[in-house]
């Protein structure tokens, strides 16, 4: 019997379950994989040779495609990954050939307040330690590939500053005349390190580099990570890698990784990382893990390759979109599905009573601090008021042509009256509703959700995008802001407006997709505005160009690409049993 999640920590539940895990060889056999398609990393984790699998199964029909998203969360997160794993376990209990497809967790949140993204309670992806601490090295490869571009840029700037055109020509180089005040990229690392957001590099002497302002972003916000998410194969990745804009010259022309002759070496770091990882749920269903971008500062999707593999191997594939439906689902809908050509059959919108109370007037939770007692006491009024956020996001999903299944991710402190209120309001908005107790009971607790999703997958929907790429870039940004976020309009800083005008005049850039950067804690660009804010305008302070990934990236509000570590981070409670080598304290 599994451990009781009301009495045991997630890492204890995972450790106990790991004693009964299937080996990757068993998982591979159940999936119908051939021997050379499975690339083991130990006994319980493997990479998959996606190209061999897709070539062999090219004529097999795809399974049903299910996206799991959520309402606007509290700062503590609301169990979207847990709900996805619980759904897969519930569908497994119904005898379905179902596969989970999730993202790899970043070391930043794992060591900070939020913790890992393995799920929780009796709905987790295991083995937990491997999942949470680096897995097969994909994020490390992203960091190395990205930072190699910065090495190429900064060393080139140093050499151009120190040497004449004649000397550069002898080395086979042409002067790029890079503008140090117009560098697009920063360095990356996979921790939340606010002290590195703004730094000065190149201090010292002539041989210590070119002195200029620089900084760090978190690794999962890297354009290399975005490329890992959207690339369709290694050839596509190689072509995208060459288009990354690193900086601009003094005339305003872009300097790419191809100009720096570093694109091939960057791709070399990614040869193994492009292959999806195979793990399992607590109840033994296959779980694919690949890519790890955040939805508030990046595309927020696991990889297209992972989804394509899962749709060929399973009759149902449950994939995830980061954070809430206004950012994660919106990017799944208008970016990922546009690039992949895949059309979803169902969207699951995860809600918790706790988050609804937050949107309905309860004190906003502070990470690392105890929850206000109101969150564990019945307050139907807060829940009903908070359902305005739920209904807004139901309507956002409906704009795609689908009607969502609302998953009430149950906490044992929820009351019957609060749950009834959510059912009544969500059903009135035209959504199916299912209560799921997967956290406490695993797959058995998710049967109502599983049944609702299986039924929804048979609905006919007319999936359509919010905008066409032929529309002006500014108009597409306006549509996302007004029709998805509920803004009254869009305002731009002077720099952002100048960039927008240049981009709209460049046909190579103006037709790229829109990947918004915005807080995940509000529909607006202000994290403190809960529910469905009214009478506000989206403020775009910058626009980045991810030419390799194929995105224009408007940056809204005050959000930062390098999160900060809180005062009570998770690493304070993580340790190792020196006798067994087992890691404890992960959650």
What are the catalytic residues? Answer: 80, 82, 103, 114, 295, 323, 411, 439
> How far, CA to CA in Å, does 479 sit from each of 24, 333, 485, 587?
45, 14, 9, 38
**535 backbone φψ class: left, alpha, beta (φ>0; ψ -120 to 50):** left
Would you give the DSSP letter of residue 328? I
CB atoms within 10 A of CB 586: 23
User: What is the rounded CA–CA span in Å between residue 124 and residue 282?
Assistant: 6
Contact 302, 82 (CB under 8 A): no
**Contact, 118 vs 128, CB < 8 A?**
yes
To which H or E segment does residue 500 belong?
helix 494-504
Q: What is the DSSP secondary structure assignment for residue 430, as one 8-state letter?
A: T
Distance CA 157, CA 139 (A): 27
433 φ/ψ angles, rounded to the nearest 5 degrees: -135, 135
The DSSP annotation for 275-321 comes to: SPEEEEETTS-EEEE-----TTTS--B--HHHHHHHHHH-SEEEEEB
Bridge partner residues of 245 (DSSP): 256
**Alpha-carbon dihedral sign for residues 319, 322, 327, 331:** negative
Tell me the C-alpha distance between 477 and 300, whole Å: 18
Phi/psi at 450 (5° precision): -60, -45
Radius of gyration of the chain (CA): 23
Residue 550: DSSP 8-state: T
Summary count for the chain: helices (H), strands (E): 22, 25
């Amino acid at each position: 019997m599994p451990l009781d999640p009301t009495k045991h920590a997630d890492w204890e539940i995972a450790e106990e379950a790991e004693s009964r895990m299937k080996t990757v060889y068993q998982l591979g056999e159940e999936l119908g994989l051939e021997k050379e398609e499975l690339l083991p990393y130990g006994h319980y984790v493997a990479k998959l040779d996606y190209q061999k699998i897709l070539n062999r199964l090219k004529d097999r029909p795809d399974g049903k495609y299910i996206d799991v998203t959520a309402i606007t969360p509290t700062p503590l997160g609301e169990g979207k990954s847990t709900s996805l794993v619980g759904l897969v376990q519930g569908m497994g209990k119904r005898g379905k050939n179902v596969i989970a497809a999730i993202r790899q967790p970043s070391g930043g949140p794992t060591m900070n307040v939020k913790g890992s993204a393995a799920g929780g309670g009796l709905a987790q992806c295991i083995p937990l330690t491997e999942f949470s601490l680096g897995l097969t090295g994909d994020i490390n490869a992203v960091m190395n590939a990205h930072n190699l571009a910065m090495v190429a840029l900064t060393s080139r700037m140093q050499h151009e500053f120190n040497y004449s055109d004649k000397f550069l020509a002898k080395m086979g180089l042409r002067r790029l005349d890079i503008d140090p005040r117009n560098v697009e990229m920063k360095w990356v690392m996979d921790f939340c390190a606010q002290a590195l957001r703004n730094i000065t590099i190149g201090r010292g002497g002539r041989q210590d580099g070119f002195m200029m302002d620089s900084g760090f972003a978190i690794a999962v916000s890297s354009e290399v990570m975005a490329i890992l998410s959207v690339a369709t194969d290694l050839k596509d990745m190689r072509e995208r890698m060459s288009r990354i804009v690193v900086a601009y010259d003094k005339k305003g022309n872009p300097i790419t990784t191809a100009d720096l002759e570093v694109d091939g070496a960057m791709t070399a770091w990614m040869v193994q990382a492009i292959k999806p990882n195979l793990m399992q749920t607590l109840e033994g269903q296959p779980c694919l893990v690949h890519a790890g971008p955040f939805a508030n500062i990046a595309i927020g999707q696991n990889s297209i390759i992972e989804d394509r593999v899962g749709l060929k191997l399973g009759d149902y594939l449950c994939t995830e979109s980061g954070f809430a439906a206004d950012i994660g689902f919106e990017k799944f809908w208008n970016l990922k599905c546009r690039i992949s050509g895949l059309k979803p059959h169902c969207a699951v919108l995860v809600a918790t009573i706790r988050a609804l109370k937050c949107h309905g007037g309860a004190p906003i939770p502070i990470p690392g601090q105890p929850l206000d007692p109101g969150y564990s006491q019945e307050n139907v009024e807060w829940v009903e008021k908070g359902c305005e956020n739920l209904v807004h996001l139901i309507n956002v999903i409906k704009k795609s042509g689908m009607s969502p299944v609302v998953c009430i991710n149950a906490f044992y402190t929820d009351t019957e009256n609060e749950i009834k209120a959510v059912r009544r309001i969500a059903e009135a908005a035209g959504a199916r509703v299912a209560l799921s107790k997967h956290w406490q009971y695993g797959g058995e607790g998710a049967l109502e959700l599983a049944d609702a999703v299986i039924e929804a997958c048979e609905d006919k929907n007319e999936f359509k995008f919010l905008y066409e790429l032929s529309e002006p870039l500014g108009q597409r940004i306006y549509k996302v802001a007004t029709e998805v976020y509920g803004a009254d309009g869009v305002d731009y800083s002077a720099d952002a407006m100048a960039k927008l005008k240049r981009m709209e005049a460049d046909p190579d850039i103006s037709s790229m997709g829109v990947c918004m950067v915005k807080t995940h804690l509000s529909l607006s660009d202000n994290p403190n505005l809960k529910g469905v804010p009214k009478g506000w305008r989206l403020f775009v302070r910058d626009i980045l160009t991810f030419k390799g990934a194929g995105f224009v990236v408007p940056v809204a509000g005050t959000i930062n690409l390098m999160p900060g570590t809180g005062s009570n981070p998770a690493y304070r409670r993580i340790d190792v049993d020196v006798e067994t080598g087992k890691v404890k304290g992960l959650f």
